[in-house]
Amino acid sequence: MTGTKERLLELLEKNRGQYISGEEAAKQLDISRTAVWKAVNSLRKEGYEICAVPNKGYSLSSGTDILSVQGIRRYLRPAAAGLQLEVLQEVDSTNNRLREQAAAGALEGTVIVAGRQTAGKGRLGRKFYSPEGTGVYLSLLLRPETWPPERAVGITTIAAVAGCEAIEALGGRDVQIKWVNDIFMDGRKVSGILTEASMGLENGHLEYAVVGIGFNVYPPEGGFPPELKDIAGAVFPEQKSDGKNRLAAEFLNRFMDYYGHGDGKNYVEKYRERSLVIGKEILVLKRDGSRKAKALDVDQDCHLLVEYEDGTREKLSSGEISVRVARTDQ
Ligand code: BTN
């Protein structure tokens, strides 16, 4: 059930940057003015900057940058308006939490967003650094029951394109994709995607897929840890007005748009156009070692076509393989 505080936040979000009188808020929420005042105080304790001016009322400062369901919802367009959002301050991993919910029957379109992850996961068993306050960590549950399993990689592809476009919608520039799941700006990884799927035993189709994306929205306080400082970057150098809610919403808008109209062609072409690897010398890293190759293309099923030094070619699927762009060692 939605409480008074949440309903007031929704109202303030709708009128962000403008004043709404205590009386008007009380009327719209069907509560007393004292209840409005109490809810304002609890929101302030959570960090919301709410100005109160006599004869004008309350106004949520346009600079406030706190993730919330109401804050994200405000920017959702029709394709994403039906999503079920939950925002958590902290979680081990939004993917883990959502997979638990998926196994318990949660519906397609369930979304968990967190402000911090204590055990954020990356591909190939890696960790995803997910500090408090400077990132957006988001997972979305899909049940593309008619999709054959090999189309699952398409979900990562859509997320990569949607992630790039979301960043650009907020003013980011030159956003590129490093096959298969990393988003780069200025030679640094600013976002990563992890799609985890479960197959139905009987028909071999996708039972569900959880697509998780993490954005380093701002530089973490004190900088990235030593092992990441040469690789990782932030989307924006400094705080942007309501940046985190907007980025989450812009991602969801675009993802749902592509997912809803997906015969694949539209987003695969966009993925290719943003590729950081096509035409480059790369290192293909497999379990049994690494080989130099040239990345030739990404095909319709999002395989990476490479040519090794001896002239042999291979189509790589994302499974157990990573690539590094040879010269920049990323
Ligand atoms: C990678 O860089 O290899 C992928 C990183 C994916 C990180 C996101 S953050 C939200 C979701 N929850 C996780 O634990 N991981 C994904």
pLDDT in tens, 159-182: 999 999 999 999 999 999 999 999
pLDDT cut 90: percent of the chain above it? 79
Compute the average pLDDT of residues 64-92: 96
Q: Is the CB of 139 under 6 A from ligand 1?
A: yes
Q: Is the CB of 194 under 6 A from ligand 1?
A: yes
Q: Is the CB of 128 under 6 A from ligand 1?
A: yes
Task: Kindly report the number of other CB atoms within 10 A of residue 7's CB atom.
Answer: 17
Identify the pLDDT of residue 138.
98
Q: Is the CB of 192 under 6 A from ligand 1?
A: yes
* Banded pLDDT at 329 (limits 50, 70, 90): very low
Burial pattern 133-163, b for ≥16 Cβ within 10 A else e, equals: bbbbbbbbbbbbeebeeebbbbbbbbbbbbb
Identify the pLDDT of residue 328.
45
Could you identify the atom of ligand 1 that is nearest to the CA of residue 121? 14
The 3-state DSSP class for residue 80 equals helix
Q: Determine the distance separating the centroid of ligand 1 and the alpha carbon of 286, expressed in angstroms.
A: 21
Tabulate helix, strand, coil % of the chain (nearest 5). Answer: 30, 30, 40
166 DSSP assignment: H
Both tokens of 320, joined, read 């157990």
Q: Determine the distance separating the centroid of ligand 1 and the alpha carbon of 302, expressed in angstroms.
A: 19
Identify the pLDDT of residue 289.
85
Q: Are 316 and 303 in contact (CB under 8 A)?
A: yes
Q: Determine the distance separating the centroid of ligand 1 and the alpha carbon of 279, expressed in angstroms.
A: 27
Question: How much is the mean pLDDT over the chain?
Answer: 92
Could you identify the atom of ligand 1 that is nearest to the CA of residue 213? 8
Q: Is the CB of 115 under 6 A from ligand 1?
A: no
